[in-house]
């Protein structure tokens, strides 16, 4: 069975809880990427996705999150070191709720990720799809 993990999201300034998002990870397709994401969902070496913001939101298209070091999109790390080689994936950004890597320029990736709000063909082939939202996608729409 595939790994499942979740985020409880909210609006920090208003101390408002918006709900849970549950992800299913594609372990057999991108095992290192999935293990890295799951580790930061659980928390590792004092770092986790808990309390990290979606640092970039492109309303109607996608958001980015996962900067566990600087919290603004300029940081990030991995359980394998600062970054690791991007895994290949033939999966596509076919609709809302697709989870993919947020890679830097040299085909490396880290803790940062993309989450789609619609089909985004422009990301296909450039980003590694490694999971999807299986419950709570309506909760992410509350922040965009």
- pLDDT at residue 42, rounded to an integer: 96
Tokens of 82: 């600062």
Question: Residue 129 to residues 22, 100, 120: CA-CA distances in angstroms?
Answer: 16, 4, 12
- pLDDT at residue 66, rounded to an integer: 97
Task: Say which residue, 14 or 109, is predicted with more confidence.
Answer: 109
- pLDDT at residue 141, rounded to an integer: 82
- pLDDT at residue 118, rounded to an integer: 95
Within 8 A by CB and 6+ apart from 55, the residues are 64, 65, 67, 71, 72, 73
Domain span at residue 108? 4-141
Q: Check which CATH number belongs to the domain holding 41 and give it.
A: 2.40.100.10
- The number of distinct structural domains making up the chain is 1
Per-chain mean pLDDT for the chain: 93
Q: Strands, E, within the chain: which ranges?
A: 4-11, 16-25, 56-58, 62-65, 84-85, 98-101, 108-109, 113-116, 129-135
pLDDT tens, residue by residue, 59-103: 999 999 999 999 999 999 999 999 999 998 899 999 999 999 998
């Amino acid at each position: 069975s595939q790994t499942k993990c979740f985020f409880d999201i909210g609006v920090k300034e208003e101390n408002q809880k918006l709900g849970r998002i549950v992800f299913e990870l594609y372990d057999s397709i991108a095992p290192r990427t999935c293990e890295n994401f799951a580790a930061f969902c659980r928390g590792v070496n004092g770092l986790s996705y808990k309390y990290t913001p979606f640092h970039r939101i492109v309303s109607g298209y996608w958001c980015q999150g996962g900067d566990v070091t600087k919290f603004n999109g300029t940081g990030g790390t991995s359980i394998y070191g600062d970054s690791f080689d991007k895994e290949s994936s033939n999966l596509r950004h076919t609709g809302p709720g697709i989870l993919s890597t947020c890679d830097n320029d040299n085909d490396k990736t880290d803790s940062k990720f993309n989450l789609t709000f619609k089909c985004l063909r422009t990301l296909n082939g450039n980003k590694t799809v490694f999971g999807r939202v299986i419950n709570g996608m309506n909760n992410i729409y509350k922040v965009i």
